[in-house]
């Protein structure tokens, strides 16, 4: 006899509907997002320096970095700049810059199409993950759990994870405790 968890089915259905409403194409990067065009100010100087160190392979800090600040503070600019610099310097690196909504979409598609192996190959075999807009995981428990698995796996392999969001990780009270704990172990940088 099989039991169906209708609450879980309802949650997954809402996530699928939400993901379907999002863009499904790969991100087309604007070339203006690079370190030369970033407006360095006192409130973002530390984040700029650390991302520049990542891009030049001179970063010696923890392998998780979390950038947070208000909308328009330059988080996405820094993540894409880091991506561009590393891809241009070492094209063979397996690096993904991805907005969280796209990660959610990929995860849902892998469930819907039963392509979990493709999802695992794409996200668990990276040299660096740049995950933008962490806030988009709000109220998405299943996806938070999967993000936690990816981050734990990459972390344990010594790979680099850079995440951005609007708030300090401790402010996400509804988030998976393990995910918040892992992010809190990293270098947390506020951008003002």
If one counts every other C-beta atom within 10 angstroms of the C-beta of residue 132, the result is 24
Average pLDDT, the chain: 85
Q: How far apart are CA 124 and CA 161, in angstroms?
A: 12
* Mean pLDDT to the nearest integer, 96-120: 90
* Mean pLDDT to the nearest integer, 49-58: 91
Using CA atoms, how far residue 189 sits from 46, 111, 166, 185, in Å, is: 7, 34, 11, 12
Q: Is the pTM of this model over 0.75?
A: yes
Residue 80: the pLDDT is 94
Phi, psi of 167, rounded to the nearest 5 degrees: -125, 165
Q: How far apart are CA 24 and CA 44, in angstroms?
A: 31
Q: Which two tokens stand for residue 25?
A: 């194409």
pLDDT band at 25 (very low <50, low <70, confident <90, very high): very low
pLDDT band at 59 (very low <50, low <70, confident <90, very high): confident
pLDDT band at 116 (very low <50, low <70, confident <90, very high): confident
Residue 87: the pLDDT is 84
Q: Is the pLDDT of residue 17 over 80?
A: no
């Amino acid at each position: 006899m099989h039991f169906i968890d209708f609450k879980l089915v309802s949650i997954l259905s809402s996530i699928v509907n939400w993901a379907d409403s999002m863009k499904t194409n790969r991100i087309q990067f604007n070339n203006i997002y690079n370190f030369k065009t970033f407006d360095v100010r006192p409130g973002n100087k530390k984040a700029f320096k650390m991302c520049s160190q990542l891009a030049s392979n001179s970063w010696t800090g923890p392998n998780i970095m979390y950038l947070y600040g208000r909308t328009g503070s330059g988080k996405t600019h820094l993540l894409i700049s880091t991506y561009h610099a590393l891809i241009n310097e070492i094209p063979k690196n397996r690096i993904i810059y991805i907005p969280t909504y796209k990660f959610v979409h990929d995860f849902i598609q892998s469930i819907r199409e039963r392509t979990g192996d493709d999802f695992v190959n794409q996200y668990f075999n990276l040299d660096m993950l740049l995950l933008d807009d962490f806030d988009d995981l709000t109220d998405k428990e299943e996806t938070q759990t999967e993000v936690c698995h990816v981050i734990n796996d990459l972390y344990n392999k010594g790979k680099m994870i850079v995440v951005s969001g609007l708030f300090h990780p401790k402010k996400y009270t509804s988030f998976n405790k393990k995910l918040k704990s892992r992010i809190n172990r990293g270098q947390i940088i506020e951008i003002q």
